[in-house]
Structure 1
Amino acid sequence: MIINLKNGVDQLLFGMKQNHVEAIYGKPDKQYKDEDGNVICLYNQQKWSLTFYEEEDFRLGYIICSHADATILDKKVIGKNIDEIKQALPFKSWTKEDFDTTENHFNESNWLILQSEYNDIIRVEIGAIINDKDEFDWKFKA
Structure 2
Amino acid sequence: MKINLKSGVGELLFGMKEKDVRGVYGNPDRQFKDEDGNIIYLYNDKKLRLTFYQDEDMRLGYIIVSNPSSEIFGSKVIRENWTAIEAAAKTNGLKDFEVESFDTIDNHFNEANWIIFQVEFNEVIKIEIGATINKNDEFDWKFKA
Normalised TM-score (structure 2): 0.96
Show the counterpart of 1:9: 9
Aligned partners of 2:65 and 2:127 also within 8 Å: yes
- Give the drift of 1:35: 0.5
Distance 1:111 1:64 in 2: 12
Show the counterpart of 2:28: 28
Post-superposition CA distance 1:50-98 (Å, at most 9, x none): 0000000000000000000111120211001112210122211111000
Asked whether 1:122 is paired with 2:125, we answer yes
- The residue correspondences of 1:27-106 to structure 2 (distance < 5 A) are 27-89=27-89, 90=92, 91-106=94-109
5+ residue gaps in structure 1? none
5+ residue gaps in structure 2? none
Normalised TM-score (structure 1): 0.98
Distance 2:6 2:128 in 1: 11
Structure 1 stretches of 4+ moved >4 Å: none
Alignment coverage as a number of residue pairs: 142
